[in-house]
Amino acid sequence: MDRDAILLTPGPLTTTLRTKLAMLRDWGSWDADFNRLTADLRARLLAIVHGAESHVVVPLQGSGTFSVEAAVATVVPRDGHILVLDNGAYCKRLARLSTLMGRRTTIVPHAEDAAVSPAELDARLAADASITHVGLIHCETGTGVLNPLAAVADVCARHGRGLIVDAMSSFAALAIDAREVRFDALIAASGKCLEGVPGMGFVFIRKAVLADCEGRSQSLAMDLHDQHAYMEKTGQWRFTPPTHVVAALLEALRQFDEEGGRPARLARYTDNCRTLIDGMTALGLRPFLEPALQAPIIVTFHAPAHPRYDFRTFYEAAKRRGFILYPGKLTQVETFRVGCIGAIGRNEMRQAVAAVREAMEEMGIGRSE
């Protein structure tokens, strides 16, 4: 094979050669040139959500989950109460980390094949004045379901409660406009729809709540208020930054703009998703979600109903053909997942479908029934 395997996962993703080459230079973490990279990066991120007037953006070392944890610890008071709308694995992770940090946490469960309910949230907030914040996963990556961000934000605003949004798998592809959607914090990361490499998250924090965040975090390294204050004062990161990740993400953002920004990225991912579902359906593989709930980010498929099917064998057969799939996250139904994001297009999705077909044939399971 004359290329790296295509990553059909929700991150890390397949990246362009330009993005990879951006990591070949070493940067001094306090150097003025690197500080300019960080400043440029932050400005570009704010522009994507039209948030320059209403929000600040605070980058943080580590995976996206680091930034989710940092956001909750920074934005939710230690005596606060966060309600988490739960319809999947990453919702449960948000609830778990909130609980581990000592924040009172209420979980509102929903079916994994359904979006969360703004009406139920409305009733919960009306009934419990102690709830200070709501936690929402915009695109629940465990299944690929799209949750109604705008409707949830409207409910929170009407009740005067803070909203924390995990937009890890949606930011830079699905529409998020800070001028229209009110949120206290929104979290994303470098290695998702921006098509950078993993290693850095970032949190948009509403300016109106930023001052109150001082001293809330119980962590030194993950205190976003202090990280922001230090960056504003010095232009530098408080602690050793992921210099190569920053450089790669800035280059990825240049390509993002060249492509046509968020609408163009969404159009490509939507085409990828359609190509994937059409091809897999022709093989007899059924998507887990109804079309109205499916975000064009990652698709969960029911596993082939055949006694010879085994995910690990299936995975290795697809890998030999140049494609990395993703295991399912559901506990009641056997599934696998295929990502639609990254520096890939229709041709790669068609090739992925062909690889799946050949993998099934190799396993002797043929067309799934």
Task: Say if residue 212 is in the same domain as residue 267.
Answer: no
Task: Flag whether 1 is in a domain.
Answer: no
Task: Flag whether 368 is in a domain.
Answer: no
Confidence tier at 260 by pLDDT (50, 70, 90) = very high
Task: Flag whether 81 is in a domain.
Answer: yes
Task: Flag whether 369 is in a domain.
Answer: no
* Residue 368 pLDDT > 80: no
Cβ contacts of residue 335 below 8 Å, gap of 6+?
288, 300, 301, 302, 303, 328, 329
Task: Say if residue 60 is in the same domain as residue 164.
Answer: yes
Task: Say if residue 86 is in the same domain as residue 233.
Answer: yes
pLDDT, mean of residues 282-295: 96
pTM, rounded to two decimals: 0.96
Q: What is the pLDDT of residues 217-247, one digit of tens each?
A: 999 999 999 999 999 999 999 999 999 999 9
pLDDT given for residue 328 in this prediction: 87
CATH of the domain at 358: 3.90.1150.10
Task: Flag whether 140 is in a domain.
Answer: yes
pLDDT given for residue 367 in this prediction: 65
Q: What is the pLDDT of residues 74-129, one digit of tens each?
A: 999 999 999 999 999 999 999 999 999 999 999 999 999 999 999 999 999 999 99
Confidence tier at 51 by pLDDT (50, 70, 90) = very high
pLDDT, mean of residues 185-200: 98
Number of domains, the chain = 2
* Residue 209 pLDDT > 70: yes
Confidence tier at 3 by pLDDT (50, 70, 90) = confident
Beta-bridge partner residues of 58: 203
Task: Say if residue 284 is in the same domain as residue 250.
Answer: no
* Cβ count within 10 A of residue 16: 15
Nearest by Cα to 55 from 63, 46, 64: 46
**What range does the domain containing 284 cover?**
6-11+261-363
Task: Say if residue 127 is in the same domain as residue 275.
Answer: no
Indicate the residue among 220, 238, 257 that finishes a domain. 257
Task: Say if residue 243 is in the same domain as residue 304.
Answer: no
Share of the chain above pLDDT 90, in %: 95
